[in-house]
A and B are shown apart, each in its own frame.
Chain A
Amino acid sequence: MSTQDDKAKEVSADGVAGPIILFFILGLAASLVFGWVIFPKLLYSQKKQPIDFNHVLHDEAVEEGCESCHFFREDGSFSGIPKLAQCVECHEEAQGEDPNEVKFVEEYVANGREVPWLVYARQPDCVFFSHAAHVKKAEMDCGTCHGHIGESEHSRVYEENRITGYSRDIWGKNISGLKKHTWERMKMDDCAECHTTKEIKTDVETLPWPINWLPRPYEKQTGNQARVKTVKEACFVCHK
Chain B
Amino acid sequence: MKIGRRSFLSFVIGGVAGTAITPLPWKLMDDSSIWSQNWPWTPVPPDGEYSQVNSVCTLCPGGCGITVRKVDDRVVKIEGMKGHPINDGGLCLMGLSGLQLLYGPTRVKTPLKRVGKRGEGKWEKISWDEAISEVTKKLADIRSNGESHAVGSIVDSESGTVPNLFKRFLTAYGSPNFMTVPSIQDSYGMTLQLMQGVSAQAGFDAENADFILSFGSGIIDGWGSPVRMFKANSAWKANGKKVVQIEPRLSNTAAKSDKWIPIKPGTEAALALGLANVIITNSLDSKKISQSTGFDSFKKLVQNEYSTDKVSKITGITSATIVSLAKNFARASKPLAICGKGQGSIPGSLNEFMAVHALNALVGNINKDGGVWAVTETDYIKWPKPEMDSIAENGMQKERIDGAGSEYPHTKSLLNRLAEVINSGDGSLEALFVSGANPLYSMPDSKAIKNAFDNVPFIISFSSYMDETASNADLILPNHVYLERYEDVPTLAGLSKPIVGLARPVVKPQFNTKHVGDVVMLIAKALGGGMADAFPWESYEACLKETLGVKWDVLVEKGFEFNGDKCMLEGDFNFYPEAMKSLSDFSPVSVEGSAISYPLILIPYDSIRLANGYIGDPPFAIKAVEDTVLKGKTACVEINPKTGKELGLTEGRYAFLHTPRGKAKVKVHLYEGIMPGIVALPRGLGHTAYDKYLAGKGCNFNELIGPAEDPVSGLDAAWGIRARLTKV
Contact = CB atoms under 8 A, between A and B. Distances in A.
A11 B1 contact: yes
Nearest to B44: A125
A117 to B, nearest CB: 12
A31 B15 contact: yes
Interface string B10-52: 1111111111011110111011101101101000100111100
A24 interface: yes
B2 interface: yes
B6 A176 contact: no
The winner among A30, A124, A126, A164 for most chain B CB atoms within 10 A is: A164
B16 A31 contact: yes
Given A75-B50, A163-B35, A20 B10 contact: yes
Contact of A31 (B3, B14, B26): B14
Interface residues of B, number: 37
Contacts of A34: 19, 22, 24
A126 B36 CA distance: 11
Contact of B3 (A19, A35, A80): A19
A77 B49 contact: yes
B30 A30 contact: no
Interface in A1-50: 7-8, 11, 16, 19-32, 34-36, 39-40, 43
A175 B2 contact: no
Nearest to B71: A77
B2 A27 contact: no
A2 B2 CA distance: 14
Interface residues of A, number: 42
A79 B14 contact: no
Given A124-B37, A165-B40, A177-B23, A11 B31 contact: no
Contacts of A218: none
A124 B31 CA distance: 11
Given A26-B14, A161-B31, A166-B34, A32 B8 contact: no
A164 B35 contact: yes
B7 interface: yes
Nearest to B22: A35
A177 B2 CA distance: 40
A171 interface: yes
Given A30-B15, A124-B34, A126-B38, A35 B24 contact: yes
Contacts of B72: 83
Query: Interface residues of A: mostly helix, strand, loop or mixed?
Result: helix
A43 B14 contact: no
Contacts of A180: none
B22 A24 contact: no
Contact of A11 (B2, B26, B27): B2
B1 A32 contact: no
Nearest to B34: A164
Contacts of B3: 19, 23
B23 A125 contact: no
Given A35-B22, A79-B49, A171 B44 contact: no
Contacts of B34: 124, 163-164, 166
Contact of A24 (B11, B27, B44): B11
The winner among A35, A40, A161 for most chain B CB atoms within 10 A is: A35
Contact of B38 (A11, A43, A164): A164
B22 A36 contact: yes
Interface string B603-629: 000000000000000000000000000
Given A32-B18, A161-B31, A23 B50 contact: no
A10 to B, nearest CB: 10
Contacts of A36: 22-23
A181 interface: no
Contacts of B1: 7, 11, 19
Contacts of A43: 27, 31
B27 A27 contact: no
Given A23-B8, A31-B19, A39-B23, 8 more contacts: A8-B2, A20-B7, A20-B10, A32-B22, A77-B50, A124-B34, A125-B38, A163-B28
17 contacts: A19-B7, A19-B10, A23-B11, A24-B10, A27-B12, A27-B18, A32-B18, A32-B22, A34-B19, A35-B18, A75-B50, A124-B37, A126-B38, A163-B28, A164-B35, A165-B35, A166-B34
Q: Which 8 A-B pairs have the closest CB atoms?
A: A35-B22, A27-B14, A31-B18, A24-B14, A27-B15, A28-B18, A27-B11, A28-B14
